[in-house]
Structure 1
Amino acid sequence: MHPNFSQSSLLISLILFLLSHHFPCSLCLDDFHYSNCTSPLEFECGHELGNIEYPFWVYGHQAEYCGHPLFKLYCEGGEHAIIEIKSRKYKVLYINPESQILQIVTMDVLPKEHIVCPQSPLMDSTPFNYTPYVEMAAVTLTNCSIDDHPGAYHFSCTMNNRLHEAYLATNLSVAKELRSRCKYGVIISKFPVLLPELEGLLNGSSYDVEEVLREGFEVQWTADNAICKECVRSGGTCGYDTTSNKSCCLCRDKPYPNKCSSMYPSAFLFSSFLCWFF
């Protein structure tokens, strides 16, 4: 028998064998955890925030295992992208995934008229730290008006349904001096503002304290960065195991604790070959 005829017959027999057998095409499907989280979500709520990637996830649009539970985002009223930190709501103004910087503003200062008197954010024991572009100012609430004072900027705010005279002070000593001039005074000792915005008040280029407050402040986050980088290098996407409450690696075959199995890519290619026929 001619050798070429024998090889051709073998190839034809192999093809007929493959065509006559049904292989489970579930082999060629990615694990649903990986499929649900591998594509970044474009999130728009009042303004465009860009692609949302781990550790962030959007409630109502993504599964909770796509992100860290402390980085849940949701849209409130169709105009406020919200993150909650220690049970307090903050509007998300900007997310920079490369530098891992988040710009947020407390919901207290968003109303256009009679903003709620701001309270100090609670960032201790969270994955967020203030960036170098944040300056800690102080806010003094009084029951009397005070003449112009260097380093203090007047605005009005409400607390317990009462309108208060308030002053944004560049430091705590100025805030204490303002309080001493009135019979009543409350000091909010640490309130973060963006340094460029505060400098605008100091040099006279900005006069609207409310707008300075509405620019919010920046924090930088950390969330298992080393594990996430190892996961991505192995071909997976970062996720969160809600059972063990730990970060994990979502891979094409199944989730792993740290990185994808090196054995899976060849198996995936073989299953893809089979599914190409069927």
Structure 2
Amino acid sequence: MHPNLFPTITLFLIIVTITLIHCPTSLRAVNDKYLTCEAPFDCGNLENLNYPFWASNRPNYCGHPSFQLNCSSNVPQINITTMNYRVLEIINSSQTLRVSRTDYLDTICPAAFVNTTIDNNLFSYTTSGDTNLTLYYNCRTPLAGLPNLVSFQFNCSINSSTNFINYYTQSSQNFSAISNYIGACNYWVNIPVLQSAFPTTATYDAVIAAIDSGFMLEWNANNSQCDACLKAGGLCGSDPNTSTFACHCTKGTFASGCSTESTSKHPFLLSYILISFLI
């Protein structure tokens, strides 16, 4: 090899080595899942959504398996323990969402009398700001001589023929305390509502407005794992095969955090091979 070429080759090899050490991610394609989940998405009137939520226009591996949103209408919906809820608001900073029951949309006479249920492994009621509104259905005794416990009496048409006497009250008022006055009621349903929206007037519209305003839930979707993933520069998601948490990073998808392993493990070995080839 000509001796005058050695400085040029040496300089070239130094540049190659530095590039391999400092710019490993430029030598390979970025993880497809990372690219797909990087941009937030919209669902109905909700904008800039991300993990743990996903929808038909966003792959399930970008979110938590139990946080699929139905975006087919202007009001997004989520299913929790087989019950559909309207999603009125999502607050990522506090990991809370405001929801209301779809079976009570613009009515307090639903097709079935079912208490509000949530998955306690994933959701919890907020510690403040919510209260329960209780609706009593099919009560045998009309409102008469009733102390100031029940706020409102209303009628529901069952099977389009029978009118039942029904009441609502705040659930802190014990049912046993009023049963002597209104008689046994066949059904009663607890519905969380915002304390600030609890009806102050005894009208049908006021009760509907309170229910439609929804209530707050806190979510727990592998929150601590997601925090660690974000700090490592990754994006939170899940493994569609195992339904477990996954951290999507630029270099791949991992069970926790992002790998710090260099793309090129042996840059100096590569330089040695190049020198041997050129000498």
> What is the TM-score with the length of structure 1 in the denominator?
0.75
Bigger Cα displacement from structure 2, 26-35 vs 131-140: 26-35
Secondary structure at the aligned position of 2:93 is classed as coil
Structure 1 position 137 matched with structure 2 position 136: no
Bigger Cα displacement from structure 2, 149-158 vs 130-139: 149-158
How much is the aligned-residue C-alpha RMSD, in angstroms? Answer: 3.6
Structure 1 position 51 matched with structure 2 position 41: no
Structure 1 position 249 matched with structure 2 position 247: yes
Q: List runs of 5+ in structure 2 lacking aligned partners.
A: 17-24, 268-279
The amino acid of 2:143's aligned partner reads: I
Percent of pairs with identical residues: 24
Contact 1:57 1:66 in 2 (8 A): yes
Q: 1:108 to 1:206 in 2, by over 3 A?
A: closer
Contact 1:153 1:209 in 2 (8 A): no
Q: Report the equivalent of 1:85.
A: 80
The amino acid of 1:34's aligned partner reads: Y
Structure 1 position 63 matched with structure 2 position 70: no
Q: Report the equivalent of 1:195.
A: 195
2:100 aligned to which of 99, 102, 105: 105
Aligned pairs for 1:1-278 within 5 A: 7=8, 27-44=27-44, 48-58=45-55, 60-76=56-72, 78-111=73-106, 115-116=110-111, 119-131=114-126, 132-141=128-137, 142-143=139-140, 145-146=142-143, 150-154=148-152, 155-157=154-156, 159=158, 162-171=162-171, 173=173, 175-182=175-182, 185-188=185-188, 190-198=190-198, 200-201=199-200, 208-264=206-262
Bigger Cα displacement from structure 2, 204-213 vs 117-126: 204-213
Distance 1:176 1:29 in 2: 67
Larger Rg: 2
Secondary structure at the aligned position of 1:98 is classed as helix
Secondary structure at the aligned position of 2:35 is classed as helix
Q: Deviations over 1:18-50 (max 9, x none)?
A: xxxxxxx99542222111112111222xxx212
Once the 2 structures are TM-superposed, how far is the Cα of residue 156 of structure 1 from its aligned partner?
4.0
Q: Report the equivalent of 2:19.
A: none
Q: 1:136 to 1:113 in 2, by over 3 A?
A: closer
Q: Deviations over 1:62-118 (max 9, x none)?
A: 111111111110124x23311001111111111101111111111111135855565
Once the 2 structures are TM-superposed, how far is the Cα of residue 220 of structure 1 from its aligned partner?
0.6
Secondary structure at the aligned position of 1:255 is classed as strand
The amino acid of 2:37's aligned partner reads: C
Secondary structure at the aligned position of 1:191 is classed as strand
The amino acid of 1:71's aligned partner reads: F
Distance 2:204 2:158 in 1: 25
Specify which structure has the bigger relative contact order, considering alpha-carbon pairs within 8 angstroms and separated by 6 or more residues. 2
Secondary structure at the aligned position of 2:211 is classed as helix
The amino acid of 2:71's aligned partner reads: C
Q: List runs of 5+ in structure 1 lacking aligned partners.
A: 16-24, 271-278
Contact 1:136 1:191 in 2 (8 A): yes
The amino acid of 2:104's aligned partner reads: V
Bigger Cα displacement from structure 2, 122-131 vs 149-158: 149-158
Distance 1:104 1:170 in 2: 19
Distance 1:192 1:9 in 2: 73
The amino acid of 1:30's aligned partner reads: V
Q: Deviations over 1:212-240 (max 9, x none)?
A: 11112111111111111111111110011
Contact 1:100 1:221 in 2 (8 A): yes
The amino acid of 2:36's aligned partner reads: N
